[in-house]
Structure 1
């Protein structure tokens, strides 16, 4: 057999091997693509649509309503906002937290203080302290202000990571009509579940006593509910808004004109 014939056969054999390897690679690629789509990997790669976020208000199984000064209309938050008085701020130099009563009273008289009521309402996988039906020892929740998932553990330091925020800050309420309320009405305002949400500690500290004109949650999908909650509290307790505050609220609610008021039911 000549050397040229041997070289020819060797070249043909290598060519067939190359085609087999290419075919195997193609089959492997097709299998990978099929797995990618059929096992849902493509769906996971697509961004999830961010819908509106709301927070719980009231659980009749173990909470009792806190009576506001006025009945809040079951209507769009935009329409109720239009009915709120617009005024400037009253002086804040005489504000004291004690004007709203002792912190975390059992205002609804269900046997548990307000802080533990709100933790129990807002957290998942709640565990109570030993021999207690009120004291929340641990749980987890998705913070509505930042959308972070936070684990709560009761303790001198760890408890600060989850705080109970007054949606309408008490200092802001004081400057916008709460001075004219009775002491009992102010206690109700400070302990009304409509005005309270569990929140990320640093985010709550950043907010301070700000109104909607100067602070809104970082989590934009929660802003409509947040502003509707502020409108509902102000309507329920006869408080007013500043013009800048009203303008900011209208901008938010303009993106969700069907957003309803937030009622304790």
Structure 2
């Protein structure tokens, strides 16, 4: 999640109260197989390809619909993933070189998704051959030092430069988030399978950092939230997340289902229904766009999901809601008194006019 400033924290009660109001709006009508030493997961109906090319194995809309209908039932986790060590405990160290080619997953995805990519510390844009041996330890022959991202989620152009203060501008998103995977079945998978899905090019996209933070751990209609420790753990609370750029909605739904099919992941009914609606529209030639009402509920609901894990924020939300309610009551009382006063003055004037 993105860092919040003190000023942002002060706005949380109002935002939480707003999300509660928005929630009242009416609603709108394969196990992993080993391939060499690295292993690879299979997408339904897809021909095996080298590991680094798996990002191409996105099902078409009609095939994704069939795959969605063939998924197993949801297998919700009974405890939050923090009980097993969260990201590292369940899915291993971030960006593991699972295919053994000497380069970590993050740099491989950056190299795939960025344009004007510079692989060298030297001046000017150098290709991978020129940058050989000049990279960081995690990818000595193909470290991405800079490039341009045409963000699929927002449609924005983002300039990337590797560095402690700049790298977060472009982040690598798990299309099916790791906490979501854990919550709906990965808690019971073998360690190798979890490691693979966390580094699978099919499940990874370079995206705008702010969009990735906004998405958090959500699926299309639900998000896992809370913790076992606080007694707030739930695997599926609304309303989920879709890319802001509606032009990417079909691609996103197809890729989400492709990953779920590859790893035989069960989905909550709400997510399956949302994906089915979008994919059906895409298969018919539409863009799968959500209604305006659904988008409003999504924004408000994500505020609730974001704050659910934090007791301090929850307290701020409660205080904010109380203050908002008190303010509305005081305002209403003042209006009633003003109305009554005007009525009384009117009766007084009329009585004085009588002979």
* TM-score normalised by length of structure 2: 0.52
Q: 2: CA distance between counterparts of 1:177 and 1:245? A: 14
CA contact (8 A) 1:92 1:174 kept: no
- Residue 189 of structure 2 is matched in structure 1 by 181
CA contact (8 A) 2:149 2:207 kept: no
Q: 1:254 to 1:175 in 2, by over 3 A?
A: same
CA contact (8 A) 1:66 1:192 kept: no
Q: 2: CA distance between counterparts of 1:72 and 1:135? A: 33
Q: 1: CA distance between counterparts of 2:162 and 2:79? A: 33
Counterpart selection for 1:145 from 153, 158, 169: 153
Counterpart selection for 2:180 from 160, 163, 172: 172
CA contact (8 A) 1:143 1:198 kept: yes
Report the secondary structure of 2:118's partner residue: strand
Q: CA RMSD in A?
A: 1.9
- Residue 72 of structure 1 is matched in structure 2 by 44
CA contact (8 A) 1:73 1:80 kept: no
* Structure 1 residues 115-134: aligned runs within 5 Å: 115-130=106-121, 131-132=134-135, 133-134=141-142
* Structure 1 residues 40-119: aligned runs within 5 Å: 67-68=40-41, 70-74=42-46, 76-87=63-74, 89-95=76-82, 96-98=86-88, 99-119=90-110
List runs of 5+ in structure 1 lacking aligned partners: 1-63, 260-265
Counterpart selection for 2:204 from 184, 192, 196: 196
Q: 1:66 to 1:151 in 2, by over 3 A?
A: farther
CA contact (8 A) 2:119 2:142 kept: yes
CA contact (8 A) 1:126 1:136 kept: yes
How many residue pairs end up in the alignment? 195
Report the secondary structure of 1:238's partner residue: coil
User: Are residue 241 (structure 1) and residue 267 (structure 2) matched?
Assistant: yes
CA contact (8 A) 1:66 1:193 kept: no
> How much does 1:181 deviate?
1.3
* TM-score normalised by length of structure 1: 0.69
Report the secondary structure of 2:255's partner residue: helix
Q: 1: CA distance between counterparts of 2:247 and 2:145? A: 29
List runs of 5+ in structure 2 lacking aligned partners: 1-36, 47-58, 122-133, 136-140, 222-239, 286-355
Larger radius of gyration: 1
> How much does 1:129 deviate?
3.7
